[in-house]
Amino acid sequence: MTGADSDASNVRPPSWLKPIVVPAPDALPDLNAVLRVRIGSAKQLPHDLKASALSMLDSLPRGDRICHGDFHPGNVLGSLDAPVVIDWPDAARGDPLADVAGTELLVRFGEVPPGTSLLVRGASAAVRRIIAERYVTVYRRVRPFDPRILLRWKIVQAAARFSAEIPSEYEALRAFLVSAGRLTRSSR
């Protein structure tokens, strides 16, 4: 296999990735409003990071597409040819890129199940990073987007994730927010 063969641009996206951007019914809650409440209620989120995330949220687009709100490999059953996405209680109407950002963060930083060995946890971090990067790469190939907007959505989603009150995630989320905040300030 040559370098060109392993390049993500040569990977055919799975057919199920294409139809995920569909109009949302008006009955679904507005994702931006949901994220605002989550960020506002995040007790462990430092005030400066909370204020920055809320300000950033104000500048991001509202959308009218279905966003799953908790999309990760554990919520996909079946096969690659016929997947079934489960666990829809967090579904909302919003910008699909917000959902992509949330998925990347869940895959990258989400809590590993209790009782997982340190060896598996260590390997898991590297594998999860690869899966998260691959997901975004394939998604971008199917639905091109501005990576600066994805970064802003990731900041908002990371801040909102604090409302889940999972202490083992706080350090990684906080470090991500500080680092990403520097990136957004330097790109202005």
pTM, rounded to two decimals: 0.87
Strands (E), the chain: 65-67, 76-78, 83-85, 92-94
Amino acid (one-letter) located at 182: R
pLDDT value for 75: 87
* Arithmetic mean of pLDDT, 132-153: 94
% residues pLDDT > 70 (the chain): 88
pLDDT tens per residue across span 90-128: 999 999 999 999 999 999 998 877 777 887 777 788 889
Q: CA 185, CA 167: separation in Å to the nearest integer?
A: 27
User: What confidence category does residue 4 fall into, taking pLDDT thresholds of 50, 70 and 90?
Assistant: very low
Q: CA 78, CA 147: separation in Å to the nearest integer?
A: 31
Percentages of the chain per state (helix, strand, coil), in multiples of 5: 60, 5, 30
pLDDT tens per residue across span 145-162: 999 999 999 999 999 999
pLDDT value for 81: 80
Report the phi/psi class of residue 145: left, alpha or beta, with left for phi > 0 and alpha for psi in -120 to 50: beta
pLDDT value for 13: 57
pLDDT tens per residue across span 54-91: 999 999 999 999 999 999 888 889 988 888 999 999 99
Summary mean pLDDT of the chain: 88
Query: What is the H or E stretch that residue 143 is in?
Result: none
Domains contained in the chain, CATH given: 11-186 (3.90.1200.10)
For the chain, how big is the Rg over CA atoms in Å? 17
pLDDT value for 66: 95
Contact between 76 and 1 (Cβ < 8 Å): no
pLDDT value for 104: 96
pLDDT value for 5: 39
pLDDT value for 12: 61
